[in-house]
Structure 1
Amino acid sequence: MRNLLCLFLASLLVSGCAPLKKLGSAGDGSEKTGPAALVAFEQEVKITKLWSTNSLGEYRSINGGIRPVLAAGVIYAADSDGNVVAVDADTGKQIWKKSLDTPLAGGVGLGGNLLVVAGTDGDVFALEADTGEQRWSAWVTSEVLSSPAVNADVVVVQSHDGKLVGLHASNGENRWQYEIDSPILTLRGTSPPVLSDEMLIAGFANGKIVALAADSGSLLWENRLAIPQGRTELERLIDIDGRAVLVDEVIYASSYQGRIGAIAKASGRGIWYQDSSTVHDLAYGLGQVYSVQKDDEVRAIRGNSGQTVWSNDQLRLRKLNSPATIEGYLAVADGDGYLHLLSQTDGRFVARARVDGAGVTAPMIADGQKLYVQDNDGGLTAYQID
């Protein structure tokens, strides 16, 4: 019964969370349920396509569980069918491609020369970043719906059954395991763990953020980011599914139907909290934290105080992906394949471009004035912002 409920909620979440509001988890049911029409505005910035390649298949991952990464001038990306590619970030030329014989739902994790992806059956694959050759494979107890965290010593995978597993980076053997008591009902998604120095930071479906020693998995501290509210299990969902952001020893994290907060990395002490509901990654820029709320309102919060600076609801219910900061702008893409640039100062639209009609779900990569976008049809495109 629990699995059926989770799958039901997943279908709602992928469709933009509008049905959740209709069910009463937020709002009074009187709000419009259709996606907002695109508003006209004067373009202030030019978005130029530099290159595009179709090395991958369809993208069907939940909440951006598969994400491209950029390192040393190479983009590493994967699709839902088990294909993994390395592409030159300057030219779009394919360097190598590896086809794994399993559906993927989590990745790409990258550390040193090790690239890690994971599947819907709990399979974990480690590849050589230079060549795509498989170094080892391992198995965890449930599907992996987010990117593993990787460094030279350990690969950390969060599975959907509430477990964090540390694997030896050299051979994939089990090193340690940390487990929570999962709530009765959860959304189908998990937060990507984050490695910082010798500390691992992870968010869970019970609304808690924890810090573990990366080498041993021992608990350093925990912080209750979100507290369940309401009478029904639907109303009490407080999953942390988006990636936290670490800036100057402060962790910014957010949950579904809970709170967004700033947490001291060293101690786990809460600095400030504000009501929030999102399943997406957060972004940071110009001293502000950016989130895409569950109704696709884009919000900017002052990083040092939690004060709301601005919000933009003109992309409501357009199935936005996670925000990314680039120069002085905030980029989001939607389910119809439009790329939107907003001013980080006041949230106004400054540019728009069409990526692909199938839409964009994967988180985007920003590097200087370049933005790399993986669309749902398998395209990978580089844009320059001028």
Structure 2
Amino acid sequence: APRPDAQPAPQPSGSRPSGSRPPDPGRTAPRRGARRRLVVTSAGVALAVTGLTVAAAVFAPDMTKSSGDASAASGTAPSQKPASLPEGWKPWRTDLRVETEGPPLVYQQSGCVPDNGRTLYCGGNGFTIAKVDAATGRVLWRWGTRPQAARPIGVRDGIAYAYKASEDGHRWVVALNAATKRQRWEQRINGSAPAQLFRGGVLTLSPDGNQLVAYGTSGERLWQSPAPQGTYCEPTVLGGEPYGLCSPVTSNGLATEGPYELLRFDASDGKQHELTTLPKKTLTIGAATGKPLFLIPQTAKEVYDSGYERPYTSMLRVDPSTGETKRIPLRRPVLGEPSLLHGVVYFVRANGTVTAVSADSGRELWQRSTETESLSAPVLSRRYGQLYFSNRFGRLLALNVDDGTEAWRTAALDNPGTAAQDTEPRVVLVQDAIVGTAGDTAFSVRPDRPSARPPS
């Protein structure tokens, strides 16, 4: 929901067995669901943090034919465009785990962010931040002395932004020179709220939770804007613009699950605009045609007593200039973790069911049972018209974006390690090369020849 914890709580550490392999294609415990934890800020305010804010990301391509539970896809389809790949690319697999002093920290927010069509910046799940060559998988540099609490925040204009955390729970946003890994600056931020890139800088929450703060590329404070009294505000970026999602804080210091006050900030000076109030348990999914888009769930008590999956019944679009809202009803309640990609919301359930819904009309476009559990959020290849998913054990799946039919799937990775069971899978595109993460392993295949697997 506009939920204040984009920083998931640590999970038990996993270890990599020498020759064992966990049960194949990712039939593990249900994927991410609402969680509630207690966070104490430096001001001594305890916040109950629930769930994740969902961000939209779009990359690019794929295609080949295979059906059922085939272990690999066939070769390039005759009508298919050849993939555009980083120069010198070949299938690769890289183990990102490193030995550090003290016990390794394992987090669910592992993953990589791409930059410039050639490199990746990876972090989380027991390994320090690594810059990886997207063509070969070679680690170009590492930064940090202990695993940090999340994957890197993002890369822009030659600067890689990341988190740094201390054992006492303090947290910083750090700017690194992307070429040399030299630290340019750091700023202390709230121990729970995320930092996010917007078109003018980095949006954060102050350590005491009382101010939303923006920093420039040189680490200078661009502006700060006070959170409404008695609320907890999560920094949120939608369509490249800075927003805040503010929920009331109870007398014992717990942040509630709404209703949420949606604030917009002018990127240049932080001037605050109160747009609208969002219902309880609303989920942020991104911006469509520049307008923030949210999901409204069923809120009946029995829904939440029965499990973690929330049925969503409608969407809400907000005009960022006027605050005017438009409710978009869904034909039937939809389950799953949503991702907004090019005007379509894709809901992915733990059991492998994927549902596509138009962000403009709420019309259900298709629904597909993939029989592949614990899927990642998808990325979209507009070049090939396909969606790509990974699961916890490195199995890749491609669905045709028009109707959800399966284009191909691959076998799971050999020996991905027990850490794969503790970590959410991720998939991104670097040009047309697919890069997935399973636990502390990153790997890459080409979408037009996915059967060419990386070496173990």
TM-score of the two chains, using structure 2 as the length reference: 0.60
The alpha carbon displacement at 1:177 in A equals 4.1
Matches within 5 A, 1:21-36: none
CA-atom RMSD, angstroms? Answer: 4.2
Matches within 5 A, 1:1-386: 15-16=29-30, 40=69, 50-56=91-97, 60-62=106-108, 64=109, 67-81=112-126, 83-101=128-146, 103-105=148-150, 107-118=152-163, 119=165, 121-144=170-193, 146=194, 148-149=196-197, 151=199, 153-157=200-204, 164-171=212-219, 173=221, 175-179=223-227, 193-194=237-238, 196=240, 199-201=241-243, 206=258, 208=260, 209-225=262-278, 227-228=279-280, 238=281, 240=283, 244=286, 246-254=287-295, 257=310, 258=312, 259-273=314-328, 274=330, 282-285=339-342, 287-293=343-349, 297-315=353-371, 318-326=373-381, 327-353=384-410, 354-355=412-413, 356=416, 358=420, 361-377=424-440, 379-386=441-448
**1:339 to 1:17, Cα distance in 2 relative to 1, 3 A:** closer
Q: Distance in 2 between matches of 1:239 and 1:65?
A: 25
- Corresponding residue number in structure 2 for 1:187: none
The alpha carbon displacement at 1:44 in A equals 7.0
Contact 1:322-1:364 at 8 Å conserved across structures: yes
The alpha carbon displacement at 1:60 in A equals 3.8
AA partner of residue 92 (structure 2): W
Structure 2 unaligned spans of 5+: 1-6, 12-27, 35-66, 77-82, 84-89, 99-103, 247-256, 298-309, 449-456
Contact 1:106-1:148 at 8 Å conserved across structures: no
Identity of aligned residues (%): 16
AA partner of residue 211 (structure 1): R
AA partner of residue 16 (structure 1): P
Q: Distance in 1 between matches of 2:210 and 2:375?
A: 26
Q: Distance in 1 between matches of 2:206 and 2:110?
A: 12
**1:173 to 1:80, Cα distance in 2 relative to 1, 3 A:** farther
**1:123 to 1:54, Cα distance in 2 relative to 1, 3 A:** same
Q: Secondary structure, in 3 states, of the residue corresponding to 2:150?
A: strand
**1:315 to 1:213, Cα distance in 2 relative to 1, 3 A:** farther
Bigger-Rg structure (1/2):
2
1:193-250 CA-to-partner distances (Å, cap 9, x unmatched) read 3462xx324556536454322233333353445x23xxxxxxxxx263x652x45434
**1:325 to 1:123, Cα distance in 2 relative to 1, 3 A:** same
The alpha carbon displacement at 1:342 in A equals 1.4
The alpha carbon displacement at 1:76 in A equals 1.4
The alpha carbon displacement at 1:150 in A equals 5.1
Matched pairs, number:
337
Contact 1:67-1:362 at 8 Å conserved across structures: no
AA partner of residue 206 (structure 1): G
Contact 1:117-1:124 at 8 Å conserved across structures: yes
The alpha carbon displacement at 1:9 in A equals 10
**1:126 to 1:366, Cα distance in 2 relative to 1, 3 A:** same
1:121-153 CA-to-partner distances (Å, cap 9, x unmatched) read 322221111211111122123234x462155x5
- Corresponding residue number in structure 2 for 1:24: none
Contact 2:121-2:129 at 8 Å conserved across structures: yes
AA partner of residue 372 (structure 1): V
Q: Distance in 1 between matches of 2:362 and 2:140?
A: 43
Q: Distance in 2 between matches of 1:8 and 1:85?
A: 20
Q: Distance in 2 between matches of 1:385 and 1:213?
A: 41
TM-score of the two chains, using structure 1 as the length reference: 0.70
Q: Secondary structure, in 3 states, of the residue corresponding to 1:335?
A: coil
Contact 1:193-1:203 at 8 Å conserved across structures: no
Contact 1:251-1:263 at 8 Å conserved across structures: yes
1:28-85 CA-to-partner distances (Å, cap 9, x unmatched) read xxxxxxxxxx9547987659972222234588434x4754233342211112446112
AA partner of residue 434 (structure 2): L
AA partner of residue 338 (structure 1): R
Higher relative contact order (CA 8 A, sep 6+): 2
AA partner of residue 321 (structure 1): S
**1:323 to 1:299, Cα distance in 2 relative to 1, 3 A:** same
The alpha carbon displacement at 1:277 in A equals 5.4
Contact 2:346-2:355 at 8 Å conserved across structures: yes
**1:141 to 1:283, Cα distance in 2 relative to 1, 3 A:** closer
**1:156 to 1:298, Cα distance in 2 relative to 1, 3 A:** same
